[in-house]
Amino acid sequence: MLEVELVEADVDREVGVPRMVLRELGGSGRLLTIFIGGVEMHAIQLALEGHEPPRPMTHDLFRDVLGELGSVLERVVITELKESTFFAELHLSSNGQAKLVSSRPSDAVALAVRVGCRMFVTEDVLDEAATPPPEAAADEVVEQFREFIDTVNPEDFAS
């Protein structure tokens, strides 16, 4: 299990679909993009901005219910990727007992942002679905170009 941070929740410019992007803390800083619903994207954005609505929205309500019941959201874990669908768990503690609740990753992150708990992704999910950070991808292109320059001959361009 590797800790991640939320980098952004917005609409992907290439495909026009709401998404959230998580970055691996430590390690190589891989990025995990998960496409989400527009309502969840908006809920995450509001929480990041510190906006408190006059009436609680769904994730605010769930946070408040947890507090009233004496439960604490300890961490969120994105556990699995199955047939292009991500799965997550809420790790709760209540009266000294640990509880697990299945969740969609977008709802889990929307709640985590509201309570300030840590977020994690299993290594298997990151290995399968994460991409290298942009600077690592650029380094790879530069290395490939260097290899090309080292092996190219002027005769390769003659017609």
Choice between 150 and 11, residue whose per-residue pLDDT is larger = 11
Give 142's Cβ-side CA count (13 Å radius). 6
Mean pLDDT of 20-28: 94
* Alpha-carbon dihedral sign for residues 24, 123, 116, 87: positive
> pTM, whole model, 2 decimals?
0.82
**Which pLDDT score is estimated for 91?**
98
Segment holding 109, helix H or strand E: helix 105-115
Per-residue pLDDT of 95-149, as tens digits, reads 999 999 999 999 999 999 999 999 999 999 999 999 998 875 445 555 666 676 6
Contact between 19 and 31 (Cβ < 8 Å): no
Ordered domains of the chain (ranges, CATH) = 2-153 (3.10.690.10)
Residue-by-residue DSSP string for 42-55: HHHHHHHTT---SS
Mean pLDDT of 33-37: 97
Taking every pair of Cα atoms in the chain, the longest distance, rounded to a whole number of angstroms, is 79
Q: Amino acid identity, residue 110? A: A
pLDDT above 80 (res 150): no
pLDDT above 60 (res 50): yes
Burial class (CB in 10 A: 0-12, 13-18, 19+), 154: exposed
- List the 85-94 sheet strands across, edge first: 31-35, 18-24, 2-11, 118-121, 71-82, 85-94, 97-103
